[in-house]
Structure 1
């Protein structure tokens, strides 16, 4: 039987950590890299017999996840998020797959829940991410600070069963998360020397709303679809506001 390491990065995940630990019973070890949580995340996890906890300052998602990978003892890794629930049929499929693998990594499709309501459209209908992979063949791309992507040296397959993605219990919680993503994305764009203009401030946010609400059928998800589309449009606008602020701050530093 192949052994597997279950990895997780955390910051104030006390409401999700017990479920994650229960879901990760299939793993031979559980690696948690915590970004100095101020709630009971570490306290709730530290006595679990399979858990190894590393406290580490957060730089960006890619950096934190690659550090977690480096701490894994086993070749096969599962890397889920704390707000994702792993159903039993998916757990069985993971174990069966790594004991007879055809690929070096595997996508897992996600059922998206917003405010405890299943969202079928709004751009979420094809949502998937690599969640199971070989340590020796995969790493997160260093040029992505947010919405991190796995770079795999080999072919990538897809598991049949889906996970449940319980995102946010309120619009304000979702807005805060998207705002943190916008700040990291702005840093990425600054490194690429992109300078924002009218197109970025006005056209791109408008298109993002249309894309989620009309093109990707968010209108069929009711008021939640409208809310999700609006919040994503806001996050695009904030991305370029933050990018412009970076340029202004660096410009003032040069003057001084």
Structure 2
């Protein structure tokens, strides 16, 4: 009697976007092997939504952006399949990684989630150091076994009910389009981290505002060998430190705004 073959596992590829033209095209092309592609767009103004709307393989939904965690949690709920590949719009899945993903989700002994190491690309050149050499993220997981924690609103964290593995092939991350674009991202992340700190009742501190950005730059540029990335490393390390500075500046603004609101409502 012939053995019954195990049904092939289906995969949902998920992305959140806001003004990602120049990134999103390569990302979508690299995940065309998925059984469904769902993109949640935060009302882009650069043609991203229109591009996705016309794409035959993409289901696009618009949803207001509150923070990264809430947007990704909303997107996760849209997936039809249990196995989910969750990417940023500036990430690209290589052919070898596509094959590894397919083999992994069809392995009966698979973990519930998988970490991906990422290769950072500065425009089209690899960034080998600058603090990114050990960067890894959960990108592949079972929807039924994982959720994004509500304790973080930026650099969202996945809580997994089960074990996690690590894939061998790296995910390409085209993090740097140009100076102003990356600067804008770092300032945005800094402001969101400040909101996270504010909700956790962490207080602004002048000493930390001085020390933390300097330490970020020194750690990534010297200790984590950003100097070996040349001008690319100097640029990335400076902008990452600028994001940390913005975090403290925004926290100070939030505290002042809160104090003003308090005095205005006092009898």
Distance 2:97 2:125 in 1: 21
Counterpart for residue 198 of structure 1: 206
Residue in structure 2 matched with residue 145 of structure 1 by the alignment? 153
Per the normalisation by structure 1, the TM-score is 0.97
**Alignment map for 1:90-101 (pairs within 5 Å):** 90-100=97-107, 101=109
Could you tell me how far 1:47 is from its partner in structure 2? 3.3
Conserved in 2, the CA contact under 8 Å of 1:87 and 1:163? yes
What is the 5 A alignment of 1:46-195?
46-100=53-107, 101-195=109-203
Query: Does the residue aligned with 1:71 lie in a helix, a strand or coil?
Result: coil
2:30–2:93: 8 Å Cα contact kept in structure 1?
yes
Q: CA deviation at 1:117?
A: 2.2
- The alignment covers a number of residue pairs equal to 256
TM-score scaled by structure 2? 0.93
How far apart, in 2, do the equivalents of 1:202 and 1:49 lie?
50
Matched, 1:13 2:33: no
RMSD of the TM alignment (CA)?
1.2
- Does structure 2 retain, via aligned residues, the 8 Å contact 1:196–1:240? yes
Q: Residues of 2 paired with 1:200 and 1:212: CA distance?
A: 18
**Which of 219, 222, 235 is 2:243 aligned to?**
235
Structure 2 segments unaligned to the other structure (5+ residues): 1-7
Q: Which has the larger Rg?
A: 2
Residue 216, structure 1, aligned to residue 224, structure 2: yes
Stretches of structure 1 lacking an aligned partner (at least 5 in a row): none
- Asked if structure 1 preserves the Cα contact closer than 8 Å seen for 2:13 and 2:38, the reply is yes
Select between 225-234 and 131-140 the one with higher mean Cα deviation.
Answer: 225-234
How far, CA to CA, are the matches of 1:156 and 1:195 in structure 2?
35
Q: Distance in 2 between matches of 1:19 and 1:241?
A: 35
Residues 203-239 of structure 1 show CA distances to partners (whole Å, capped at 9, x for unaligned) of 1111111110111011111122122111111211110
Deviates more, 1:191-200 or 1:129-138: 191-200
How many Å apart are 1:46 and its aligned residue?
A: 1.9
The more displaced of 167-176 and 215-224 is 167-176
Q: Name the counterpart of 2:259.
A: 251
Given that 2:23 and 2:174 are in contact with CA atoms closer than 8 Å, whether structure 1 keeps it comes out as no
Residues 200 and 237, structure 1, Cα contact 8 Å, conserved in 2? no
Decide whether the 8 Å contact of 1:9 with 1:32 is kept in 2. Answer: yes
How far is the alpha carbon of 1:182 from its aligned partner? 0.6
- 177-186 or 231-240: bigger deviation: 231-240
Deviations 1:61-83 (A, max 9, x none): 11000111101000000011111
Secondary structure of the equivalent of 1:132? strand
**1:39 positional shift:** 2.0
